């Protein structure tokens, strides 16, 4: 029966059920995070008469959102790697593509939306408590106004990296992925520094091909081009590659376990 159902191909209904189950599994951790945030702010209300997180820039809320997103993405496939849980994962009446899609929706669609909505609600309650305690009240966190587009894109890009790490590594995916990514940045920085050194040597040698880059206009154009290139690479190419790589890791894991 399961084989017959799976032969129908990709099923949005199965994806929706898998995503719902994931949300229910993640709900306790989500509640704990919000509870910790509420506890910290209540303590600040008692001692400082203001909600600590309700600042005009909303950076505290975004920091918690980023940290929570990284942990969520790094644990997206933990059930796939664990003994009995791994067997349960394999026996689910869903394809690897459907399970991967459900995990993607849970991490990259449901989590940001749920956190922002819950954060705004909690921020509003904290602002009311401030007024009850006699304070003028602080700024309510409105993520659509305080979170910059590039910062949000950076968060999703980082989550994509950890998402792939969760699919690849059985143990300590957060630490291993962070270590590999840091090493990659160090190597890239070294190569970039060597390239700049070589460019400086060409300019110092009076090469006509490189002298035009030494002008203020040339350096400005090169800097703008480099900035755009880095954004495309780190916010577009790398996350896309990570998501594709993560899918192949999940697909390989399922195919290998089925053979065993």
Does an H or E element contain 22, and which? helix 12-48
H-type alpha helices, 92-110 = 96-105
Q: Residue 215: its pLDDT value, please?
A: 54
| Chain segment 91-122, per-residue pLDDT in tens | 777 788 899 999 999 999 999 999 999 999 99
- Measured between alpha carbons, how far is 222 from 193 in angstroms, rounded to an integer? 15
Q: How many residues make up the chain in this entry?
A: 260
Check if the beta carbon of residue 44 is closer than 8 Å to that of residue 50: yes
Does the pLDDT at position 207 exceed 80?
Answer: no
Does the pLDDT at position 209 exceed 60?
Answer: no
| Chain segment 140-189, per-residue pLDDT in tens | 899 988 899 999 999 999 999 999 999 999 888 999 999 999 998 999 88
Q: What is the percentage of the chain residues whose pLDDT exceeds 90?
A: 46
CB within 8 A of 49, min separation 6: which ones? Answer: 130, 133, 134, 135
- What is the average per-residue pLDDT within 20-47? 92
CB within 8 A of 29, min separation 6: which ones? Answer: 72
- Measured between alpha carbons, how far is 230 from 237 in angstroms, rounded to an integer? 10
Q: Residue 122: its pLDDT value, please?
A: 94
- Measured between alpha carbons, how far is 19 from 143 in angstroms, rounded to an integer? 24
H-type alpha helices, the chain = 2-6, 12-48, 59-74, 78-81, 83-91, 96-105, 111-132, 143-146, 149-168, 173-204, 208-211, 216-232, 238-259
Q: Residue 251: its pLDDT value, please?
A: 86
Does the pLDDT at position 68 exceed 50?
Answer: yes
For residue 68, give Cα distances in angstroms to 38, 115, 125, 182, 243. Answer: 15, 9, 21, 20, 19
Does the pLDDT at position 252 exceed 60?
Answer: yes
H-type alpha helices, 49-95 = 59-74, 78-81, 83-91
Q: φ, ψ for residue 151 (rounded to 5)?
A: -65, -40
Does the pLDDT at position 4 exceed 50?
Answer: no
Where does residue 181 fall: left (phi above 0), alpha (psi -120 to 50 degrees), or beta otherwise?
A: alpha
- Measured between alpha carbons, how far is 224 from 226 in angstroms, rounded to an integer? 5
Q: Residue 82: its pLDDT value, please?
A: 72
For residue 202, give Cα distances in angstroms to 55, 192, 222. Answer: 49, 15, 16
Res. 229 pLDDT band, cuts 50 70 90: confident
């Amino acid at each position: 029966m399961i084989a017959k159902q799976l032969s129908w191909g990709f099923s949005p209904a199965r994806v929706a059920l898998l995503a719902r189950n994931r949300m229910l599994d993640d709900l306790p951790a989500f509640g704990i995070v919000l509870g910790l945030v509420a506890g910290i702010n209540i303590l600040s209300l008692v001692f400082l008469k203001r909600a600590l997180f309700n600042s005009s820039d909303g950076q505290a809320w975004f920091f918690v959102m980023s940290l929570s997103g990284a942990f969520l993405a790094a644990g997206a496939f933990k059930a796939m790697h664990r003994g009995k849980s791994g067997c349960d994962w394999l026996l689910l009446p869903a394809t690897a593509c459907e399970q991967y899609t459900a995990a993607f929706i849970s991490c990259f669609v449901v989590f940001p939306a749920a956190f922002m909505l819950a954060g705004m609600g909690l921020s509003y309650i904290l602002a009311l408590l401030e007024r009850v305690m006699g304070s003028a009240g602080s700024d309510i966190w409105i993520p659509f106004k305080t979170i910059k587009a590039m910062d949000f894109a950076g968060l999703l890009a980082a989550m994509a990296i950890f998402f792939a790490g969760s699919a690849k590594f059985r143990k300590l995916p957060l630490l291993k992925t962070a270590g590999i990514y840091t090493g990659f940045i160090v190597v890239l920085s070294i190569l970039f520094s060597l390239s700049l050194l070589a460019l400086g040597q060409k300019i110092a040698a009076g090469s006509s091909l490189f002298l035009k880059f030494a002008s203020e206009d040339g350096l400005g154009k090169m800097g703008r081009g480099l900035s755009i290139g880095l954004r495309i690479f780190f916010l577009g190419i790398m996350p896309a590659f990570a998501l594709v790589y993560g899918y192949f890791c999940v697909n390989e894991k399922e195919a290998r376990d089925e053979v065993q």
